[in-house]
């Protein structure tokens, strides 16, 4: 595993049920991360969104965000479950628009350039993501969530199955396409970003196909969002006449292109259109605010 850039760690925030829980690092909640989404109409304008699981921010009410600050502390952003947007028929995902102040908040959003639609991600002539590709996720290890700052921890593994139907505890419970990853997890990591990566020489598919080692490039992409561990029926010795289920060693993740689908929801597109119009007017009248201030922060 190569060294993870500190900037990637700075994309993470922690989630808690309440202000007091966030202040006291209560051992309950989850993980989220920030992505940047450039305006399609106005150059140099960027929107920012927090991403996590629906079951974390909405169902379990862990909607209060704690983010690191540049002075070595944290700031707590109080939000309620009603502030998060999700697809009632979709995956276990929820997003919220944020207005970070980059002079205060120690945040490095994940650019949407690292998120690709399914056809691009799996295209043999492009990224050709598949079984065995290395992955890591960054999230909240609740047993060590203490101190003045959020300290994300990393878990490592590889892709075991490509997206196929897996039970998700989303707004409408049911089978949704999900990755299965050979990677350990536990409570607190729900909502963590999962990255897929390659380093020069590790593209074995290229070697098998061409007989040559691929030394040309590295790769780092957002593969998905961790939502839980694959559940399996456990055999228990005794007189039980009912099945007992437990977590297997497989970690499950929602494909990252589902984030793009959520960002394309009509209400978010309309909000960006309204903001674009306001910012276009400000720019024309010489009242431009320096980027990367959030378009909604002023």
Flag whether 298 is in a domain: no
The average pLDDT across 236-259 equals 73
Residue 262 has pLDDT above 80, yes or no: yes
The least confident of 89-103, 221-235, 258-272 is 221-235
Flag whether 65 is in a domain: yes
DSSP secondary structure, 194-217, as one string:
EEEEE-TT--HHHHHHHSS---S-
* Contact between 115 and 256 (Cβ < 8 Å): yes
Place of tokens 């908040």: 105
pLDDT at 260: 96
Burial 283-296 (b: 16+ CB within 10 A, else e): eeeeeeeeebbbbe
Distance (Å, whole) CA 78 – CA 72 = 20
Flag whether 71 is in a domain: yes
pLDDT at 29: 93
- Give the range of the structural domain holding residue 80, as residue numbers without chain letter: 6-284
Distance (Å, whole) CA 177 – CA 253 = 9
Flag whether 268 is in a domain: yes
Confidence of residue 79 (pLDDT cuts 50, 70, 90): very high
* Contact between 141 and 68 (Cβ < 8 Å): no
Flag whether 149 is in a domain: yes
Q: Which of 153, 155, 179 is nearest to 165 (CA)?
A: 179
Q: What is the pTM of this model?
A: 0.86
* Contact between 65 and 11 (Cβ < 8 Å): no
- What is the per-residue pLDDT across 220-234, written as a single tens digit (0 to 9) for each? 999 999 999 876 654
User: Which residues sit opposite 32 in a β-bridge?
Assistant: 13
Cα–chain-centroid distance for residue 93? 9
Confidence of residue 283 (pLDDT cuts 50, 70, 90): confident
The average pLDDT across 141-162 equals 89
- What is the per-residue pLDDT across 188-199, written as a single tens digit (0 to 9) for each? 999 999 999 998
The average pLDDT across 143-167 equals 89
Residue 246 has pLDDT above 60, yes or no: no
Mean pLDDT of the chain: 87
Number of structural domains the chain divides into: 1
The average pLDDT across 1-22 equals 93
Flag whether 295 is in a domain: no
Confidence of residue 238 (pLDDT cuts 50, 70, 90): low
Residue 202 has pLDDT above 90, yes or no: no
Distance (Å, whole) CA 97 – CA 119 = 27
Residue 80 has pLDDT above 60, yes or no: yes
Confidence of residue 292 (pLDDT cuts 50, 70, 90): very low
Q: Which of 202, 205, 200, 204 is nearest to 215 (CA)?
A: 200
Confidence of residue 243 (pLDDT cuts 50, 70, 90): low
The average pLDDT across 149-167 equals 94
Flag whether 203 is in a domain: yes
- What is the per-residue pLDDT across 162-188, written as a single tens digit (0 to 9) for each? 999 998 988 988 899 999 999 988 889
Residue 49 has pLDDT above 70, yes or no: yes
Flag whether 208 is in a domain: yes
State the CATH number of the domain containing residue 180.
Answer: 2.40.10.10
pLDDT at 233: 54
């Amino acid at each position: 595993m190569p060294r993870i850039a500190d900037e990637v760690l700075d994309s993470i925030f922690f989630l808690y049920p309440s202000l007091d829980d966030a202040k006291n690092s209560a051992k309950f909640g989850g993980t989220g991360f920030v992505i940047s989404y450039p305006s399609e109409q106005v150059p140099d304008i960027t929107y920012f969104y927090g991403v996590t699981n629906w079951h974390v921010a909405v169902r379990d009410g862990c909607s209060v965000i704690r983010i690191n600050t540049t002075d070595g502390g944290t700031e707590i952003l109080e939000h309620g479950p009603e502030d998060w947007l999700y697809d009632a028929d979709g995956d276990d995902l929820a997003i919220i628009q944020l207005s970070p102040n980059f002079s205060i908040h120690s945040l490095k959003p994940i650019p949407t350039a690292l998120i690709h639609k399914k056809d691009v991600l799996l295209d043999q002539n492009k990224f050709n993501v598949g079984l065995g590709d290395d992955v890591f996720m960054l999230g909240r290890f609740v047993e060590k969530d203490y101190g003045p700052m959020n300290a994300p921890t990393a878990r490592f593994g590889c892709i075991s199955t490509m997206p196929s139907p897996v039970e998700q505890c989303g707004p409408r419970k049911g089978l949704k396409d999900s990755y299965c990853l050979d990677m350990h997890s536990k409570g607190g990591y729900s909502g963590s970003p999962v990255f897929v990566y390659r380093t020069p020489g590790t593209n074995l598919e290229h070697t098998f196909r061409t007989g040559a080692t691929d030394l040309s490039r590295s790769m780092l992409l957002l593969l998905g969002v961790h939502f839980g561990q694959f559940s399996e029926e456990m055999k228990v010795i005794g007189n039980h006449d009912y099945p007992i289920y437990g977590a297997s060693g497989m970690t499950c993740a929602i494909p990252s292109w589902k984030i793009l689908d959520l960002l394309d929801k009509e209400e978010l597109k309309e909000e960006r259109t309204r903001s674009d119009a306001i910012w276009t007017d400000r720019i024309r009248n010489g009242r431009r605010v320096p980027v990367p201030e959030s378009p909604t922060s002023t």
